[in-house]
Structure 1
Amino acid sequence: MVDQRWAGVRERVAALGALPAGSEVFGSHGHHWTLEEPLTEDELTELETQLGVSLPAEYRTFLTQVGAGGAGPAYGLFPARRVRGRWRWEGDGADLADLSTLAQLFPEKGPDPELLDALTAERPEEEDFDEIEDFDDAVEAWDERWEAVMFAPARTAGAIVICHLGCALREWLVISGPHRGTVWSDPRVDDADLEPLLDTEGRPVTFARWYTDWLDKAERAARQQVAGV
């Protein structure tokens, strides 16, 4: 069944890539306006069988009607690829997702706030050390403890990384649980927890909205470049 949300999307992406102004759109030098070929239904079935979970409907139809990845928000949509007979996603940080846990429910809440507060209070301060080497060692030890909490694999069970925005900032697509099909921002590198992307009315952003909003904005930015605005 054809998903009308994706009608004409490949053509719109190609048209943007053909415009000189397209190179001015943020992230375009990462994906070069190239979409990979769509997956066949057999490939999608094989991918889902290996993962042991069905992908969200909007993403499934994108994979088979638009492309397996490529041109998309920020530096592009991470492609799903078969490597030596096994399916995986490829991109900067894609390996943060544990594909063996995709059938588990994605957790809405992050680490215990009291634990995070305690860790934050224990963060070393340079003025408390006589030697810079001792301070560096203390910071390294603290970073390991912080990352063990913030980047615990259980925090992102049931989700995959779908793109990166640079500087270790990424976005995830929830595969399982109550938030299935929504996109979440990952600013953990800046010591903040994952949070859902919301539209102007405060509603969670689904995959189709995430992608088509980006495409609409990219087209407007390219037209403004052509018009010299």
Structure 2
Amino acid sequence: MTAIWAGVRDRVLALRTAPKANKVFGAALNGHLGGQWGHGFELLPPLTEIELSEIERSLGVRLPAEYRDFLLQVASGGAGPDYGLFPLRPRTEGGDSAGSEHLRRPFLPGPAQEMIDAYEKREPVREACPDEEEYRRAWSAWNDEYDELDAALMAGTLCVSHQGCGYYTLLAVTGPERGTMWNDVRAVGEGVDPVRFLRPEKQRVTFAEWYSDWLLRSERQAGGENGNAPAR
């Protein structure tokens, strides 16, 4: 077992009976541990190497090492930051692939966001068009471009977690940012931004850092004022 994940599954499951488990954000809903949207500190079984290989074949990419080891050694989904990790399962008979074509494209958030910014500046205005019909045609054609640009912004990312209020957490699986975590904040028109801790020198956060940070904070919060996390 990879050292970074040793004991992690047992630590997460132990939080189910911690005295203040329902105080951890995303673990409970309306004070009921394991509610409709709460993960309740439950974990799905890990994947087998065969299952994971099948998923990667369907995705068309090999997943980043830290996330891959997590799936094999800890869980295929369940408890985690915010409302937990989305399940990653093998393709079912007759079902759609777990992934899509966009995963095979490189994740390039900077250039993609620049294209979106330029696109927004090109929105047609009524005053520049000779009549209402021409304005509607121009605006419709402009609006049709958005889906392609939005897809380019999300290319090469796997959505791994729901933060609530339409925000999501992404894992970059291709491109120069491969293995790093990103916030999908398109719900408020801000594109995607890298996950950052409070340390200014930490410009990028990997999957293992992201998950381990959540587990330590959860142990402290769920255990009460003094926490029940093991010494580090």
Q: TM bucket by the smaller chain?
A: 0.7 to 0.9
In the aligned structure 2, how far is the partner of 1:8 from the partner of 1:210? 17
What is residue 189 of structure 2 aligned with on the other side? 191
1:40 aligned partner, one-letter code: T
1:27 aligns with 2:35: no
What is residue 155 of structure 1 aligned with on the other side? 153
The TM-score with structure 1 as length reference comes to 0.78
Identify which range, 102-111 or 36-45, moves more after superposition. 102-111
Identify which range, 75-84 or 177-186, moves more after superposition. 75-84
CA positional deviation for 1:208? 0.3
Alpha-carbon spacing, 1:52–1:4, altered in 2? closer, same or farther (3 Å): same
Work out whether residues 81 and 88 of structure 1, in 8 Å CA contact, stay in contact via their aligned partners in 2: no
What is residue 102 of structure 1 aligned with on the other side? 103
What is residue 169 of structure 2 aligned with on the other side? 171
In the aligned structure 2, how far is the partner of 1:13 from the partner of 1:19? 10
Q: Which runs of 5+ in 2 are unaligned?
A: 29-37, 126-135, 228-232
Work out whether residues 111 and 150 of structure 1, in 8 Å CA contact, stay in contact via their aligned partners in 2: no
The TM-score with structure 2 as length reference comes to 0.77
Q: Which is richer in helix? A: 1
Q: Which runs of 5+ in 1 are unaligned?
A: 90-97, 123-137
Work out whether residues 21 and 225 of structure 1, in 8 Å CA contact, stay in contact via their aligned partners in 2: no
In the aligned structure 2, how far is the partner of 1:65 from the partner of 1:166? 27
Q: How does 1:77-156 map to 2 (within 5 A)?
A: 77-85=85-93, 99-109=100-110, 110-112=113-115, 113-117=117-121, 119=123, 145=143, 148=146, 152-156=150-154
Deviations 1:191-227 (A, max 9, x none): 1120111231232000000100000111111123577
Deviations 1:37-73 (A, max 9, x none): 0000111111111222100000000000000010000
Q: How does 1:24-63 map to 2 (within 5 A)?
A: 24-29=23-28, 30-63=38-71
What count of residue pairs does the alignment treat as equivalent? 199
In the aligned structure 2, how far is the partner of 1:221 from the partner of 1:118? 48
Alpha-carbon spacing, 1:65–1:20, altered in 2? closer, same or farther (3 Å): same
Work out whether residues 36 and 68 of structure 1, in 8 Å CA contact, stay in contact via their aligned partners in 2: yes
Identity within the alignment, %: 40
